Amino acid sequence: MNVLLTGSAGFIGSHIADALTAAGHTVRGLDQRADGEPADVRDAPAVARALHGVDAVCHQAAMVGLGVDVFDLPAYVSANAHGTAVLLAEMARAGVGALVVASSMVVYGEGAYSCARHGAVRPGPRGEEALRAGRFEPGCPRCGDPLEPGTVGEDTVLDPRNVYADTKVAQEHLATSWARMTGGSVVALRYHNVYGPRMPLDTPYAGVAALFRSRLERGEPPLVFEDGGQRRDFVHVRDVARANVLALERVVAGGAEAFRAYNIASGEPRTITDMAEALAAAYGGPAPQVTGGYRIGDVRHIMASSDRARRELGFAPEVPFDDGMAEFAACGVAA
């Protein structure tokens, strides 16, 4: 299988390139950096050249992270939505009909919740007044009572709550329209909190594990927002790369629908404090500090069921949490 891999020099893309090569496939990279063809996915002529002779596209190129402020809006929309639109148009011209696209858990907004009185509910965005007062748990939108968090499946109604999430939903919708118009097939992999070797350096757009690891490297304690009780699913980057190989093999073999989404997660949610403590212990650095700080647009709990990926792709995570954190602590952020 010949695969065009956008974002091939990035954190996740570079691991996908390794996994595809190990599985006997041929990878053609497209990235702004000096990996494969140095080109932007918004550069239609470069994309057209890169698509020549490929069987499938694995689209990882994106601007990631929550964003700093409202002035990031044009950059996110340009890189993620417009870039995907250019890629899809050129795929149609080239007659390439198989696509795996990197999506994200952020498309769900808050996770699944149930109220003892009202059953399944979807709480709205948490207000700044409540966050400032330290009321971090969302309440029932009907009665205000405490809620019990659960796991989200792929058929959960999408509810993006920041610009990155908006553009990930847009990518899925654009890809779905492309599939309907061309007869192509799309697999969207909704990554949960990916961590591991080659994570980006300490920037405002880095993932929380990288931010914690950067502070430990400087001899500083990880700073945990809210009360540290936020629940996430931390999945190792090599497991994510393997999921992409499985998805590409399925879509090229003709076993995919016009559009199919999959949660890619470990299935073992942890709190942010759990992760910070495990990473600090493995690194041998200072213990985390819970700050009570917050970011507007963050969600409280987001945990996934990856049963569909297990059934249909044969995906099962292989890297245990403690082993993955120990490796990440030892290798550094950009190793």
In this prediction, residue 241 has a pLDDT band, given cuts at 50, 70 and 90, of: very high
> Catalytic annotation on 294?
no
Round to whole Å and give the CA distance between 24 and 20.
7
pLDDT at 335 over 50: no
For residue 314, tell me if it sits in a domain. Answer: yes
What angle is formed at CA 111 by the lines to CA 107 and CA 115, rounded to 5 degrees?
A: 145
**pLDDT score of 247:** 97
For residue 136, tell me if it sits in a domain. Answer: no
For residue 212, tell me if it sits in a domain. Answer: yes
Query: For the residues 179-208, what does the mean pLDDT come to?
Result: 89
For residue 253, tell me if it sits in a domain. Answer: yes
Looking at the DSSP assignment, which residues form a beta bridge with residue 269? none
Could you tell me which residues come within 8 angstroms of residue 329 by beta carbon, excluding any fewer than 6 positions away?
213, 216, 279, 282, 283, 284
For residue 166, tell me if it sits in a domain. Answer: yes
For residue range 107-161, what is the model confidence (pLDDT) as tens digits? 999 889 999 999 999 998 899 999 999 999 999 999 999 999 999 999 999 999 8
**pLDDT score of 205:** 62
Round to whole Å and give the CA distance between 77 and 325.
33
b vs e for 217-251, b when ≥16 Cβ sit within 10 Å of the residue's Cβ?
A: eeeebbebbbbbebbbbbbbbbbbbbbbbbbbbbb
Round to whole Å and give the CA distance between 153 and 112.
9
Which one of the listed residues 76, 113, 164, 294 is annotated catalytic? 164
**CATH classification at residue 229:** 3.40.50.720
Q: Give the total number of structural domains in the chain.
A: 1
For residue 20, tell me if it sits in a domain. Answer: yes
**pLDDT score of 43:** 97
pLDDT at 104 over 70: yes
Mean of all residue pLDDT scores within the chain: 93
Query: For the residues 181-203, what does the mean pLDDT come to?
Result: 91
Q: Say how many C-beta atoms besides its own lie within 10 A of residue 63's C-beta.
A: 17
Could you tell me which residues come within 8 angstroms of residue 100 by beta carbon, excluding any fewer than 6 positions away?
56, 57, 58, 59, 186, 187, 188, 189, 244, 247, 248, 251
For residue 198, tell me if it sits in a domain. Answer: yes
User: For the chain, what percent of residues have pLDDT higher than 70?
Assistant: 95
For residue range 277-330, what is the model confidence (pLDDT) as tens digits? 999 999 999 999 999 999 887 899 999 899 999 999 999 999 999 999 999 999
In this prediction, residue 35 has a pLDDT band, given cuts at 50, 70 and 90, of: low
User: For the chain, what percent of residues have pLDDT higher than 90?
Assistant: 85
Rounded (10°) angle between helices 83-94 and 44-51: 40
pLDDT at 332 over 60: no
Round to whole Å and give the CA distance between 177 and 183.
10
**pLDDT score of 331:** 81
Q: Which amino acid is at 331?
A: C
**pLDDT score of 256:** 72
Most distant CA pair in the chain: distance in Å? 58
- Domain ranges, residue 46: 2-111+152-331
In this prediction, residue 37 has a pLDDT band, given cuts at 50, 70 and 90, of: low
For residue 146, tell me if it sits in a domain. Answer: no
Round to whole Å and give the CA distance between 182 and 89.
10
